[in-house]
Amino acid sequence: MDGARLPTTAPILILLGPPGAGKGTQARMLEEQFGLVQLSTGDLLRAAVAAGTEAGKAADAVMKAGGLVSDDIVLAVLTDRLADPDCAKGVVLDGFPRTTAQAEALDQMLHARGQAIMAVVSLDVDTVKMVLRVAGRYTCGSCGEGYHEDFKPSKVAEICDVCGAQDMTRRADDNAETAMSRLDAYQISTAPLIEYYAKQGALKRVDAMGPINDIGRSIANIVRTG
């Protein structure tokens, strides 16, 4: 962990990018490197679906179809999680905000708390690579470590390198057809946030086509320089 080199206020970093851009992969690396907390609205919603909560029941079909869950539901699950004490040390928002309404709600929330966004990192990746990454992804169901059939396979098939569990899972929305619906939703609702944050002077663009560690180094430089 490199926490001593972080700004004194709890940093809030946003990772913006289409499905498969590497938001989750990079957020987990930032968590490890800087002690920031990864807040993935996708993970929070999948947990709500698995728990069978009202929010989860409403989100389930929308997520399976590759659409966007309503702003009200997303804001409710995110606000709940942000109130947890561990978030006071700084967070990486992975997959949030995804609409202008979510971005405005976040601005209001941070303004009320006297906090500001440190940086918004846009991970730029092309469509072919995005579909390849999403279609080959699998995750350890026990510890959450992410893998990929071609780019980051586990050392021993079906066994997690990190925790040793034999519990690999695949997401219901990780197929080429749903990935294209998710990309459409990104282009219609989320891509306009690039301009939104550029106008605020918070936007940093990172080429996300290369190796995972090279992209990680670029983002770490952004975190260090604030």
**Peptide bond between residue 19 and the one before it cis (omega within 30 degrees of 0):** no
For residues 56 to 75, the per-residue mask of contacts with ligand AP5, x marking binding by CB under 6 A and - elsewhere, is: ------xx--xxxx----x-
Q: Helix, strand, or coil here: 61? A: helix
Contact 175, 135 (CB under 8 A): yes
Contact 88, 12 (CB under 8 A): no
The DSSP secondary-structure symbol of 155 reads S
Spot the catalytic one: 81, 98, 133, 204: 98
Give the nearer residue to ligand AP5 in terms of CB position, either 71 or 202.
71
Interaction residues for ligand AP5, span 141-170 (CB under 6 A): 146-148, 151-152
Q: In the chain, what is the straight-line distance between the N-terminal and C-terminal CA atoms, in Å?
A: 16
> In this chain, which stretch among 38-46, 114-122, 155-163, 197-205 interacts with ligand AP5, using CB under 6 A?
38-46
Q: What backbone torsions phi and psi does residue 202 show, to the nearest 5 degrees?
A: -100, -10
1, containing H or E segment: none
Asked about 28 being catalytic, the answer comes back as: no
Single-letter code of the amino acid located at 47: A
For residues 91 to 130, the per-residue mask of contacts with ligand AP5, x marking binding by CB under 6 A and - elsewhere, is: ----xx-x---x----------------------------
Q: Does 216 interact with ligand AP5 (rule: CB under 6 A)?
A: no
Give the nearer residue to ligand AP5 in terms of CB position, either 80 or 226.
80
Contact 92, 23 (CB under 8 A): no
Give the nearer residue to ligand AP5 in terms of CB position, either 100 or 115.
100
| Residues at the contact surface with ligand AP5, assessed by CB under 6 A | 17, 19-25, 40-42, 45, 62-63, 66-69, 74, 95-96, 98, 102, 133-134, 137, 146-148, 151-152, 173, 182, 211-212, 215
